[in-house]
Chain A
């Protein structure tokens, strides 16, 4: 039913459309070209605008909002530099398939192509890093194009969509009517899974002696956790969850082997290497998972389930390809598997259990009197628990957060997996807190990452978004330094973030406590193991402001296990120089 026409402007239609689409939060910064949109936004009772301090923060906040809520995240910026500052978060959301809509102002249509003030061809420059993009030059088109953008962002394989709107289109008079008819002739609906392929996959699984379910972020995107659980328990197959899928299957479940990949658990990595069947569900055989691709899971047949047909066969040929929504495919697979028995897999589980016992995740204790970064992260997870939401930056602390936080529930682990965007954690946590105000939201950040986007703590303080930030301060770009230790003869070129002197003191430049206090946060420092619990207690009990804890940790801790870049996964080292002894599988 069409509602009566409302006379308004393009800007008014933009805000009305956001309201009708159910948008409750927009992260952004006004500027010249987008200014008309901000006027009606002031009067909207349904759309909250969070005024960030840098557009990159708006983009990552929209991503964090989307990852924590499952809804489309929205960010807004003006033309030129405002828009170009969104390029990094758009690329980030693209590689991690996060539904985000970015709305940018553009110079008036008549000035396009004239190198006008704050003109940038943002549509052109974001083409490789967005699922789709639009430039709107007519006020009448705004509701339809925005509705299409939201539909595209959330449909099939999710992703970011750009809507660039010229200033004159925002200013022009128009009428608003809702709903609108979408015009997307090129959009293919998600197909129903091919029944024959589903049966073939179920048969392969029933016959497999050494299967592994290789679960990727697509399961979380499809909210297919319950379906995965049912399928895994019915078939009894072991499960590995990638960095993007942590929480999609409870880490404490007895069938869970951990995370595969460069810093995955020995058991998860080796299980894939020795598998005779890999069932990939919403996973893309990323190089950080496979290591050298020609050595990855060489003896395995592959069932590849993905909503995006272009992913199937991209990095690894599939014996049984299944295109479809993960939840739908898993339901059908479970039904098909229930008709079949399965072979005896006790030998496989005995081997897996032996690896789990022999090579559990762990870490060396820090030198006497010093805090270990892994210890901080593990303890933080115990204090905040599996119901908290965790966002990580990128680097060593990210891998330790992946290894040692309690990943039990969906949508509680926010992470920049594909692009590896340092600076992601603080704004993503901010977005998650806006989406889930009742949840405890922790950003686990490095001192390098934190200095890239910490200005959003001002936003958090002023907008009532009391996130908590653990700065794992080792005074170094830790992951790069680890590679320099291992592969560059300990030549530490430009990875030191502290001013010199005491290498165990993290960095005090900046002084994170004073910096955080200056941004309106409650700030604490912890540099002794005996203070850890007390500091975490204080951090957990402050809920009226953002909290920043400067955890000063020793700089020589390294992330293990590790598969060196370019090496095959059989070369995994459980610790430095320690290659596990797997023996031979006899079946």
Chain B
């Protein structure tokens, strides 16, 4: 069952690259990725759907959340994914 993560990040290519690399490095395959701006030019929003990894997805969120360029990371409720 894939998980949909919602990430608010600094609006830089580096921050995005780190997130993608972290998902790969920690073993969570990316199935879908949406990156876009927010009302604030320095802040971007990323939605990433990841497949099953070696550990519960909460571990990935904890790793994402400690990245310096990440302002907030969370798993969206399962209903949000089912509705897509």
Contact = CB atoms under 8 A, between A and B. Distances in A.
B62 A128 contact: no
Nearest to A311: B62
A132 interface: yes
A184 B68 contact: yes
A430 B66 CA distance: 32
12 contacts: A124-B17, A128-B21, A133-B14, A185-B71, A186-B9, A186-B10, A187-B68, A309-B66, A310-B62, A310-B65, A310-B66, A313-B58
Q: Top 10 nearest A-B pairs by Cβ distance?
A: A310-B62, A132-B68, A186-B68, A128-B25, A310-B66, A127-B21, A310-B63, A127-B18, A186-B71, A186-B69
A309 B62 contact: yes
Q: For chain A, which range describes its interface: under 10, 10 to 19, 20 to 34, or 35 or more residues?
A: 20 to 34
A308 interface: yes
Interface of A: 123-124, 127-128, 131-135, 152, 184-188, 308-310, 313-314
Contacts of A131: 68
Interface in B1-49: 9-10, 14, 17-18, 21-22, 25, 42
Contacts of A127: 17-18, 21
Contacts of B21: 127-128
B57 interface: no
Contacts of A123: 14
A186 B73 CA distance: 11
A132 B59 CA distance: 19
Contacts of A133: 14
A10 B21 CA distance: 31
Contacts of A309: 62, 65-66
B28 to A, nearest CB: 14
A185 B44 CA distance: 13
B67 interface: yes
B17 A185 contact: no
A131 B69 CA distance: 11
A133 B69 CA distance: 10
Contacts of B62: 309-310, 313-314
Given A186-B68, A187-B68, A310-B66, 10 more contacts: A127-B17, A127-B21, A128-B21, A128-B22, A132-B67, A132-B69, A133-B14, A186-B71, A310-B59, A310-B62
The binding surface of chain A is classed by DSSP as mixed
A128 B66 CA distance: 13
Contacts of B70: 186
Contact of B59 (A186, A187, A308, A313): A313
A135 B25 CA distance: 22
A330 B14 CA distance: 37
B67 A186 contact: yes
A185 B40 CA distance: 13
A345 B9 CA distance: 50
A299 B34 CA distance: 45
A313 B58 CA distance: 10
B74 to A, nearest CB: 14
Nearest to B15: A186
A135 B14 contact: yes
Contacts of A185: 10, 42, 71
Most buried by B among A124, A186, A313: A186
A309 B58 CA distance: 12
Contacts of A308: 66
A131 B14 CA distance: 13
Nearest to B42: A185
Nearest to B9: A186
Contacts of A313: 58-59, 62
A54 to B, nearest CB: 27
Contacts of B69: 132, 186
Nearest to B58: A313
Nearest to B70: A186
A154 to B, nearest CB: 13
A152 B58 CA distance: 24
A251 B66 CA distance: 34
Contacts of A134: 14
A459 to B, nearest CB: 33
Contacts of B17: 124, 127
Nearest to A156: B66
A152 B66 contact: no
Nearest to A148: B68
A184 B71 CA distance: 10
Nearest to B61: A310
Contacts of A132: 67-69
A135 B15 CA distance: 12
A127 B24 CA distance: 12
Nearest to A135: B14
A308 B69 CA distance: 16
A92 B66 CA distance: 19
Contacts of A186: 9-10, 67-71
